[in-house]
Chain A
């Protein structure tokens, strides 16, 4: 197949705008899949992806398309993850394509996430083909969405394809637009090999399987290759195309997308964004755009039953085989026992890890309040990266504390701007700019502390805008801020699992909220339990659980001692799940409830 007849493209869409359905239709229309092989939303292969309707891993799938005039083309659909947490992976997948379908829901219009991915695509010089989907919905507002799109990318009305993926409308037009508008890949087949790794997954039989796009040269089975960033050498075991399954072709030529198996055993060994070249005839430099991915959000993960620590460790080991961005190290908490400090790309990533541990590995876990990484300069001039409240230097030796800031875009119907202002104000946001995509859609540009977004920002945004607003963000930089470490004490002992770093002005409110919650959750003991919140040695909130009174039970009738004994046995089971803090027994549920603090 000549490069002239190759089209590499991706689909940019907001969640629920119909990306997976469109992909399914394209696969069907090109005969890549027949109806029998169709499983709704072929591309999202993890259960979790199907359920949440989001793409977590990148995928690629090859289609053969014959135009009505009889010309044959090869299409490679590169499917990108759909969330800001994975924006780096998104950028690498985009780099593998020359064109993008911008898919917008006719009823919902343009959303924040679409815009940020779109800009990334434009930055990568991708040709954009705007498509309005779901035009046959009763609530479709095709004209207004057309205007939004024209405003956004400066295209002509005629360039916009109208479609309904669900009902097969506009599919042929889309296929033709791909042929006509997406340029064929460029590159020099005779130059030294340069192939971009844009994602990897782990297969228990084959090891790491990487997705690659060949920019220059070609790659074949048996080639000696070098990964230019990590500087590791491998031998190609197998290369091929990705149809529904992997199809071995022994060779991937310039401009093509395919898979690569080279015997790597750990996804960590192969970095997304790395460049593959031939060991003997290396390219002069790697492809641009590689970045070391750093976790933004940290939290402790603990087994609910302390005896499951070993199981959790094994599960995490397996999980990271397929998730190179998750990092973890063991930590100990006096309240929760042995567990792991984990670093995540973002909140969604954290949720995904949590869900995968629970579902795929059947672990019952507690996740502590997530926090971001603070830069703390101490009076001796040293700078510390604090990713765990327990590592926060004492207030006395702190020179300054800096916290990460994000650049956020909130797209919303104008009637919710007031509510959003209130929320962002509460979240210490700074409004940088307001612009209008069209009269019914404002784009609010904010600087927000990441720590505030990590808490409950997204849920609250959804609730104050009745689900209409969408949010997208990227890391902006660090800003000096008055952050303090807030500790929770139970009868004078620190409950380390509940320590948090919060803004000074919010410490009081947060401390009081946690104390009140705990008061309701800690069962009475034989003595009074004092719950306090404090910064350093200064107590800012206090609650107490009164001592247990005489607990009287009624009649034990007709001598049914058996039942009474069983009740006691059952209670004892319950006690197993208590964590002992000093002399105080705290039920597991109390931690869970406090850690899920959202009101």
Chain B
């Protein structure tokens, strides 16, 4: 088994829930402390199984991890360091909401050990930010970005969203250009998806919002790829663009079928051909861990076919020339006819 892996911490808190988002998060900020306690427990419980892995990336996602206080972050980090083997040269990312960042906080992130900052900007147009339900302003984006640089972040990602109702070619171009002007190392550009369970989805069912047509979506997608490429951002994954070698190493672990451990409610893990995930409920998570037990929701061991199938569809997300490479990760076996058949048509929803 390959001893390299990624570590993911899911911080399920937000000031406000964005109407399009279906990641697990809640707005009851008074429960953050309970969460941290439970997380520390989970770290200890998982330690034994993952002792041999060297974690080359750590990613705090959410939710809004930047809602955690400097002290809380420090405690989590100390627990991680104490229980897992973490590569000191690793990539340590934290997702943040530009509305929750100030210089001291950013400095605290740096001191805690983070070396990569991901900012959920989404748009540089005030009306669009409002439509998406974001709490930050455009001015705060500029401020936060500047502060991040001052705090010493030399690897920053900007998340942009596209193809949502109301966006125009002009507003999107403006967002792209504004992001480019900041010269971040990495830009992610995601197409809006109406996910079941979100407010947007309900509004779509009620006919209040209608998704853009496929051709329209493609236009925005192509516009992003074209503009970003022109400015030296390489599209190494369908929605991710990086300057130089600043690819997100953590995300690549997912796509490249490497092991990873997810901690926190709703976090998923992949280890020794087994996928498992935690319960998507903070209270259940806290309750189980208080009793000293894991809060797993499911666990499935993948068959050889499943593995190959995943390998193909995950690889399809990447620019890297993968397709006729021999399937190696687990067994060295080649693609079977069954696998070829299973994979046909995958491009449609990858």
Contacts and interface: CB of A to CB of B under 8 A. Distances in A.
A561 interface: yes
Interface of A: 524, 546, 548-562, 564-565, 567-568, 571-572, 575
Contacts of A546: 215
Contacts of B8: 558-559
A557 B191 contact: no
Interface string B98-133: 000000000000000000000000000000000000
Contacts of B221: 550, 552
Contact of A557 (B23, B217, B300): B23
A558 B345 contact: no
A559 B268 contact: yes
Contact of A572 (B239, B268, B277, B342): B342
Given A546-B215, A558-B23, A568-B313, A553 B191 contact: yes
Contact of B254 (A548, A552, A559): A559
B275 interface: yes
B230 interface: no
Contacts of A548: 214, 348
B277 A560 contact: yes
Contacts of A556: 254
B309 to A, nearest CB: 7
A51 to B, nearest CB: 32
B347 A564 contact: no
Contacts of B347: 551
Given A549-B218, A557-B61, A572-B345, A562 B277 contact: yes
B260 A559 contact: yes
Contacts of A565: 306, 309-310, 313
A187 to B, nearest CB: 70
Interface residues of B, number: 40
B304 to A, nearest CB: 14
Interface string B180-218: 000000000011110000000000000000000011011
A568 B218 contact: no
A578 to B, nearest CB: 10
A556 B350 CA distance: 10
A359 to B, nearest CB: 32
Contact of B215 (A549, A558, A561, A575): A549
Contacts of A550: 218, 221-222
B314 A561 contact: yes
Given A548-B348, A552-B191, 5 more contacts: A550-B221, A552-B238, A555-B239, A557-B23, A565-B306
Contacts of B298: 562
B270 interface: yes
A587 to B, nearest CB: 13
A450 B282 CA distance: 67
A461 to B, nearest CB: 33
Nearest to B216: A549
Nearest to B238: A552
Given A549-B215, A559-B269, A568 B346 contact: yes
